[in-house]
Structure 1
Amino acid sequence: MGGVTVIAVPFAGEGAGEDELSWGQQDIWGSMRRDRSWLPIGFARPVPPGTTVEDIVDELRWCVSRYPSLRTRLRFTGGDRPRQVVYASGEVELEVVDAPPDADPAAVAKGVQDRYQGTDHDHAAEWPVRMAVVRHLGAPAYQVMVVCHLVVDGFGALVMQDGMRDRPSGPGAALEPLEQAREQRTPAAVRRSEAALRHWEHLLRTTAADRYPGSADPRTPRYWEVVRTSPALHLAVERVAARARVESSTVLLAAYAMAMSAVTGIAPLLTQLVVGNRFRPGLATTVSPVSQTALCRLDVAGREFDDALAVTWRAALAGYKHSYYDPAALDALLRRVAAERPDPAVMRCGFNDRRGLLRDLPPADPAADPRAALAHTTTRVERRQDKPFDPCYLHVLQEPGAVVLVLCADTHFLGPDQQEDVLRRIEETVVDAASRGGH
């Protein structure tokens, strides 16, 4: 790496104050503590030709001034949760990294991103955004930005990128985290949270314990991430969704539940869904994290797929309705149910469809044959580690021409062969459904 220059970038914005964490922030804070990570998210991307360092400085100043969450630090009071403090003004640093003449600026930018993400974050003393510009042969070539997940989520990052491009003026319409925290104490919000907790409690108390003995093939390292990249799913899933008039996420969730019940024998299956919550008033364009987990009970074992899809749609809809609540109250509920019930149902499975974070991907070819594309499916083990995952969590990603299924699982719960079996069954179920529907 060449030289590094640091530019202090002053900022000033509206919305200063202090309050408790919003529900979405509390949810992420819990994940950060469990994972022992500040969960950084970010990018390294080329800049348009002719971009100057001053342009990047102006962009950083505008962004931090515009979005209160990027001016947020935490204040630790000795309780279970810190408080958020939004500042009216301050200075944030921009690094200017000069890549050596013979270096690949993309590789240098990736190294900067890795350094940012791999360096611990002091929530009380540091701003939650780190930015750099990589110069090559004297001209800016790449921009790097890494932000703490506590103040932005994936869809919030898209909102922020749109703002950086369009530079809207005037007050925004979104509820920012301080406003969310205040709104969440109102009687209406308390009632909404209590209704959500009743939904969770009903499912937890009325679902029989799964009695699943666990994997016959536990491994060391214990936690594996198995990835299946499927062009066939890319061709099939929207076709099935259009025919059934449901979201493609529902199609994949139904296939996942069927696969899990078939492989483990657990039926019905309690499944946690990550819900973006941006359909709620005031949250569509907030940059801050607002996703929370919904709970649904999927009783799909032994059903034909069309029937399983209808069951899944109804269960998921009820979960989405009850996906906005006080996380501390939910934690207390989970402890109470576990203490009071000798055989509480176990929430082993999770589902997170992250395909909406990618834009401008070409649609599937409506004339292509999903079954023929099965020959191009690939499966690999991406990670093996002793740092814990949840027992079984399916992440759905998208890349050009393929749906990517990422199954993170505890091999003491699902062995490697079982993990691959689950992914294969998901793919085959959706492709079979698409083939029965015709082209």
Structure 2
Amino acid sequence: MVERDAARTPVAAGDPTAAPHEVRAPFAVAAGGPVEAPLTWGQRAIWQAIRRTAPSDHYFNMARVLPIADRGGPVDVAQASAALGRLMERHDALRTRLVTGDGEPRQIRHAAGSLPVQVFEAALIEDADTVAAAVAERLGATRFDYFGAWPIRAGLIVQGGRVRYVALALCHVATDGHGVEVLVRDLRLLIRRGSAGGPTSAGPLDLAHEQSSATGLRRGESALAHWETHYRRIAPTVFADVVAEPAAPRFRTVRLVSAALARATDAVALRHRISPSAVLLAGAAVLAARAGGRDTAVMLPIVANRFRADSRDLVTTLSQEGLFVLDLDPAAYFSDLLPAAWQASLRAYRSAGYDPDRWNELMRRIAAERGTPIRPFCCFNDMRLVDRPPTAGPAPTTAELDAARSHSRVEPAGGHEFIACRYCMHVVSEGDALVVSVTGDTAYLPVHALEAHLVALEDLLIRAASGREVPIGALTGFAERVAEPVA
């Protein structure tokens, strides 16, 4: 059933700011009333990040567009809305809101309710994709009401009575990037087949109880031991010096789109029998260390924590920060570091499941002992769904890599008023290219330095793939040096 509560208002092509009309997607499950539980480790970690970033915490929202008219029969608003209701029923995380507790909030799972769904009309079929992208951006552009609204927003893009796209925005407290892809997959199946398969095996409340068990706590303490070992010896931060007047907005994002980087990364990974993601993590960490004047590379990778079969398709926030630490030999080449980098990445992955409150206690204790907070302010997030193996086949030649590099582009990709970090790298795929973006605090990393860093990463890996490396000690970290520190 779909409940209508507003008159239809068309959206002009490319103008999603015009008022949509709204329908309701009711849902109800057989379970009883609301159930309350603590937050999971991943939820608590992202909640703490949200609090640090507020009121700019919409930065953590995730938006997706699902094409509907690309296959199968026509789908109308009633069918699409009903599928969204069944999606709410299928995944506990979507029916969960925060509730005030003693100290940190807790979560409460509801058994029934309705999801508001906005309906936008595109004037022409060729306008629908433009409107869909703009609607997704609009849905994710404002912070969620974590206590009073569902952690999902949905919009239907309609042309001629047929739903062409579904636009979604998800709250990071409810799920991480992998969980979003599970939701998109399940929604497509619910729309096309009426079912997304058997019931899900668990939800965030089950995970919260498991993490509170003796086994879960032991696993968390083991991860924290890795942090304690290295936080006693690494530099307090990677980029310590203010080098420029900050831009407005202060935090800027620059991205590199490069098929050459994709091919070079795969070639290096295949040659050294490690994952492409570990190659990129090591490259970014080495260049950041050199730019910051450090002899030890430190990076905080965002780890999916989906190593177990029962958590692989769980819709919740499992991802947490791990700790990657790699000592550098200035006389060595990047390729020489990769065996140690692979082991360091595995230790980082294993260090990413822990109780954030216990982590905070550890950080306070080490800061007191060392006389300063230890905050690398340097993170890495490979957002591709799986750490796929490198593409097999003949290694690309030097000429092929140089030719591919001629098509690479570095471009601005927006800005933010505040992010609780100084350097954040994100990796996604776009066709046969890698898209690597860096968001930086322009007081420490001006825009030209961010651009140069991306160029340097591409150069580092192309050199490693083609046998043209220079020693680590010869790397500045950027293709051009950052300005001298501001007095």
Fold-level match, TM-score > 0.5?
Answer: yes
Pair 262,8 (structure 1): closer, same or farther in 2 beyond 3 Å: closer
1:13 aligns with 2:29: yes
CA contact (8 A) 2:27 2:114 kept: yes
CA contact (8 A) 1:358 1:398 kept: no
The Cα shift of 1:309 comes to 0.9
Other-structure match for 1:178: 205
1:92-135 deviation line (CA, Å, top 9, x unaligned)? 22233334469923333334333322344322221222222222
Counterpart of 1:28 in 2: which secondary structure?
helix
Counterpart of 2:414 in 1: which secondary structure?
strand
1:20-59 deviation line (CA, Å, top 9, x unaligned)? 1111111121222222225322223432251122320221
Other-structure match for 1:378: 409
The Cα shift of 1:256 comes to 1.5
Alpha-carbon distance in structure 1 between the residues aligned to 2:163 and 2:27: 22
Other-structure match for 1:267: 295
Amino acid at match of 2:172: H
Pair 231,296 (structure 1): closer, same or farther in 2 beyond 3 Å: same
Alpha-carbon distance in structure 2 between the residues aligned to 1:363 and 1:59: 40
1:73 aligns with 2:136: no
More displaced stretch, 418-427 vs 144-153? 418-427
Alpha-carbon distance in structure 2 between the residues aligned to 1:418 and 1:128: 36
Counterpart of 2:226 (choices 196, 199, 209) is: 199
Other-structure match for 1:312: 341
CA contact (8 A) 1:294 1:320 kept: yes
1:352-399 deviation line (CA, Å, top 9, x unaligned)? 11133799xx99996561122222222223334442351112212221
Amino acid at match of 1:230: S
Other-structure match for 2:377: 348
Name stretches of at least 5 consecutive residues in structure 2 with no aligned partner: 1-8, 11-18, 190-194, 469-487
Alpha-carbon distance in structure 2 between the residues aligned to 1:381 and 1:261: 23
Alpha-carbon distance in structure 2 between the residues aligned to 1:263 and 1:340: 27
More displaced stretch, 40-49 vs 369-378? 40-49
The Cα shift of 1:231 comes to 2.0
Alpha-carbon distance in structure 1 between the residues aligned to 2:347 and 2:411: 35
Alpha-carbon distance in structure 1 between the residues aligned to 2:239 and 2:227: 21
Alpha-carbon distance in structure 2 between the residues aligned to 1:406 and 1:205: 30
The Cα shift of 1:414 comes to 2.7
Pair 80,357 (structure 1): closer, same or farther in 2 beyond 3 Å: farther
1:276 aligns with 2:304: yes
1:140 aligns with 2:163: yes
The Cα shift of 1:274 comes to 0.6
CA contact (8 A) 1:263 1:421 kept: no
CA contact (8 A) 1:227 1:382 kept: yes
Counterpart of 2:406 in 1: which secondary structure?
helix
TM-score if structure 1 supplies the norm length? Answer: 0.90
1:395 aligns with 2:420: no
The Cα shift of 1:434 comes to 1.3
Alpha-carbon distance in structure 2 between the residues aligned to 1:253 and 1:9: 42
More displaced stretch, 286-295 vs 209-218? 209-218
Alpha-carbon distance in structure 2 between the residues aligned to 1:297 and 1:358: 20
Counterpart of 2:167 in 1: which secondary structure?
strand
Name stretches of at least 5 consecutive residues in structure 1 with no aligned partner: none
Counterpart of 1:86 (choices 109, 126, 135) is: 109
Counterpart of 1:55 (choices 71, 79, 85) is: 79
Other-structure match for 2:484: none
The Cα shift of 1:202 comes to 1.1
Counterpart of 1:153 (choices 176, 189, 202) is: 176
Pair 10,217 (structure 1): closer, same or farther in 2 beyond 3 Å: closer
More displaced stretch, 191-200 vs 100-109? 100-109
Other-structure match for 2:368: 339
Pair 4,357 (structure 1): closer, same or farther in 2 beyond 3 Å: farther
Other-structure match for 2:67: 46
Pair 250,74 (structure 1): closer, same or farther in 2 beyond 3 Å: same
Amino acid at match of 2:89: S
Amino acid at match of 1:11: F
Alpha-carbon distance in structure 2 between the residues aligned to 1:307 and 1:398: 27
Counterpart of 1:140 in 2: which secondary structure?
strand
Amino acid at match of 2:379: G
Other-structure match for 1:293: 321
Amino acid at match of 1:428: D
CA contact (8 A) 1:209 1:343 kept: yes
Counterpart of 1:250 in 2: which secondary structure?
helix
Counterpart of 2:310 in 1: which secondary structure?
coil
Counterpart of 2:46 (choices 16, 24, 28) is: 28
Pair 94,198 (structure 1): closer, same or farther in 2 beyond 3 Å: same
Counterpart of 1:266 in 2: which secondary structure?
coil
Pair 352,371 (structure 1): closer, same or farther in 2 beyond 3 Å: same
Counterpart of 1:216 in 2: which secondary structure?
coil
Alpha-carbon distance in structure 1 between the residues aligned to 2:396 and 2:106: 54
Alpha-carbon distance in structure 1 between the residues aligned to 2:155 and 2:239: 49
Counterpart of 2:107 in 1: which secondary structure?
strand
More displaced stretch, 45-54 vs 68-77? 45-54
Counterpart of 1:118 in 2: which secondary structure?
coil
Counterpart of 1:325 in 2: which secondary structure?
coil
Alpha-carbon distance in structure 1 between the residues aligned to 2:114 and 2:372: 54
CA contact (8 A) 2:438 2:450 kept: yes
Pair 293,225 (structure 1): closer, same or farther in 2 beyond 3 Å: same
The Cα shift of 1:85 comes to 0.5
CA contact (8 A) 1:273 1:351 kept: yes
The Cα shift of 1:273 comes to 0.9
Pair 435,228 (structure 1): closer, same or farther in 2 beyond 3 Å: same
Alpha-carbon distance in structure 2 between the residues aligned to 1:344 and 1:395: 25
CA contact (8 A) 1:176 1:287 kept: yes
Pair 121,394 (structure 1): closer, same or farther in 2 beyond 3 Å: closer
CA contact (8 A) 1:393 1:407 kept: yes
Amino acid at match of 1:26: R
Pair 310,215 (structure 1): closer, same or farther in 2 beyond 3 Å: farther
Amino acid at match of 2:62: I
Alpha-carbon distance in structure 1 between the residues aligned to 2:159 and 2:186: 27
Amino acid at match of 2:444: F
